[in-house]
Amino acid sequence: MCWTVTGAGTWSRYGAVDWVHNLRNDGFATLRQGGWIELAIVRELDAEEAAPVLREYLDQPRAFVVGPYFEAPPEAPDEAFAAEAHRHPVFEIVRTTTIRI
């Protein structure tokens, strides 16, 4: 999960991989750690909402790994990232519930 200026969320650096398909179909994710389960309800952002999140991530030092997967450079305007948003789905975490098992 990534913390961004828009709040808590996650995005796919490598496109519509299996977990992206699952989130799109189910609208939630189940995360498990130790004796805890966290249910996260998500909403996929549209291209205009996703653009500043993608640009922010690409403008960080650790982004050198995923930079080659983007056509837009970090200094590009939001419109350039909006055009790429279909290749890098972004999900906002709307609500979470944590339970002990």
Ordered by start, the domain boundaries in the chain are: 2-100
76-100 as b/e: b if 16+ CB within 10 A: beeebbbebbeebbbbbbeeeeeee
Of 8-17, 21-30, 40-49, 89-98, which gets the smallest average pLDDT?
A: 8-17
pTM: 0.82
pLDDT average, residue stretch 28-44: 90
16 band by pLDDT with thresholds 50, 70 and 90: confident
Tell me the average pLDDT of the chain. 86
Flag whether pLDDT at 95 surpasses 70.
yes
